[in-house]
Amino acid sequence: MVDLYPLARPFLMAMDAEQAHNLTIAALKTGLVPGGSRRDPDVLAARVFGLDFSNPIGLAAGFDKNAEVPDAMLKLGFGFVECGTVTPRPQDGNPKPRLFRVPTAQAVINRFGFNNQGLDAYAARLSARAGRPGIVGANVGKNKDTVDAASDYTACIRRVAHLAKYLVVNVSSPNTPGLRTLQSRDALADLLGQCLAARTETGATPPLLLKVAPDLTDEDKADIAAVVLDSGIDGLIVSNTTLARPAAIPPALAAEAGGLSGRPLLEPSTKVLGEFYQLLGGKLPLVGVGGVSSGADAYAKIRSGASLVQLYSAMAYQGPALVGRIKAELAQRLTDDGYAHVADAVGAAHRKG
């Protein structure tokens, strides 16, 4: 695949960050996407949640909020693509500007606020791709002004359960007021119970995952782990963006409200991932996301307990060829360490000997 991104990068970086993102989506919608023709190495194949992944590297939610380009992203080499977050009704999200690059830290701050075209448009696009190959997941949320949060999550699940390979309940965005309170023990148990019931009503059985924040106390993490094990959901995505502002973020940008993603999130999100792996005793598959920009980063997530890995922010700086580089680097590291399959390395950092 010819990597044209270095030529386009200066042009995109000179644009407003959200405008550049929208232009990227528009370009991908043309279908003129360079695809990797190489078959993924066998060492990268994984069976997780009952699904067969050709490789464990996925596109995190937030890039394709409206399910406009999942097939284009699969063509770029991702093993799976997560679309959303979608809400039942369309909403504009927070006022602009709301997306900020932090090039010196290879980071991004966003406060979008679940801007999306709504469930009707989202479901129509997923329905139109029915029967096509590739694992596409649906990330669901609530409208900002909805009081009964569960009613929004369940409405989305009922609509897309037959259209997505897996579902994600997003209670961890920092940009919808009150959303993260749904991670508290009683609220979470009630929400997950209603989401599972809604899935059952559809007759479909896509795996149901929960996406959590990195900014959790030890008590929060223990409570979430207990609820997750009791609920019967299928897995956990760790983690969403952080409200923290490490020293690497220049003061002017650190003052911007929103969630931080990119390289500074790698260490804290991987730490929380490892903690959940241990709290759950390896009983549920985990998806590791946050700060991944190399094969070494992906491998660190896997060794800390992730069966699958997602990325997004790093592509803004390194372009789509990053996906192939990460897969090649990860395959080499697995092979060098004597692993025949990526699953064999999951949680290796926590094993003695």
Q: Binding site for FMN: residue ranges?
A: 61-65, 85, 139, 170, 211, 239, 262, 291, 312-313
pLDDT tens for residues 289-315?
A: 999 999 999 999 999 999 999 999 999
pLDDT at 37: 60
Does residue 269 have an active-site annotation?
no
Give the C-alpha separation, 230 to 236, whole Å.
Answer: 13
User: In angstroms, what CA-CA distances link 47 with 85, 167, 261, 341?
Assistant: 25, 17, 28, 10
Q: Are 86 and 139 in contact (CB under 8 A)?
A: yes
pLDDT at 35: 67
Give the C-alpha separation, 126 to 120, whole Å.
Answer: 10
Q: Are 64 and 117 in contact (CB under 8 A)?
A: no
Q: Binding site for substrate: residue ranges?
A: 65, 110-114, 170, 175, 240-241
Mean pLDDT of the chain: 96
pLDDT tens for residues 5-26?
A: 788 889 899 999 999 999 999 9
Q: Which CATH superfamily is domain 5-348 in?
A: Aldolase class I (3.20.20.70)
Measured in residues, the chain has a length of 353
End-to-end CA distance of the chain: 41
pLDDT at 322: 96
pLDDT band at 75 (very low <50, low <70, confident <90, very high): very high
User: In a 3-state reduction of DSSP, which class is residue 166?
Assistant: strand
Give the C-alpha separation, 311 to 309, whole Å.
Answer: 7
Give the C-alpha separation, 141 to 179, whole Å.
Answer: 9
Give the C-alpha separation, 133 to 334, whole Å.
Answer: 27
Q: Are 85 and 240 in contact (CB under 8 A)?
A: no
DSSP characters for 261-280?
Answer: EEGGGHHHHHHHHHHHHHHT
Q: Which of 313, 294, 292, 302 is nearest to 349 (CA)?
A: 302
Structure tokens that stand for 105 in this block = 């830290």
Structure tokens that stand for 117 in this block = 């075209």
Q: Are 303 and 277 in contact (CB under 8 A)?
A: no
Give, to the nearest 10 degrees, the angle between helix 295-304 and helix 266-279.
20
pLDDT at 41: 97
Q: Are 316 and 107 in contact (CB under 8 A)?
A: no
pLDDT at 173: 95
pTM exceeding 0.75: yes
User: In a 3-state reduction of DSSP, which class is residue 100?
Assistant: strand
Q: How many Cβ atoms from other residues are within 10 Å of residue 195's Cβ? A: 22
Give the C-alpha separation, 177 to 304, whole Å.
Answer: 31
Q: Are 189 and 226 in contact (CB under 8 A)?
A: no
pLDDT tens for residues 248-294?
A: 999 999 999 999 999 999 999 999 999 999 999 999 999 999 999 99
- Return the percent helix, strand and coil in the chain, to nearest 5: 45, 15, 40
Share of the chain above pLDDT 90, in %: 94
Question: 236: part of which helix (H) or strand (E)?
Answer: strand 235-238
pLDDT tens for residues 195-253?
A: 999 999 999 999 999 999 999 999 999 999 999 999 999 999 999 999 999 999 999 99
Q: Judging by beta carbons within 10 Å of its beta carbon (0-12, 13-18, 19+), is residue 162 exposed, middle or buried?
A: middle
Question: 325: part of which helix (H) or strand (E)?
Answer: helix 322-336
Give the C-alpha separation, 54 to 173, whole Å.
Answer: 29
Q: Binding site: residue ranges?
A: 61-65, 85, 110-114, 139, 170, 175, 211, 239-241, 262, 291, 312-313
pLDDT band at 1 (very low <50, low <70, confident <90, very high): very low
* pLDDT surpasses 80 at 114: yes
DSSP characters for 9-64?
Answer: HHHHHHS-HHHHHHHHHHHHHTS------SPPPGGG-EEETTEEESSSEEEPTTSS
Among 54, 172, 173, 294, the one annotated catalytic? 173
Torsion of CA 316, 317, 318, 319, to 10 degrees: 30
* pLDDT surpasses 70 at 353: no
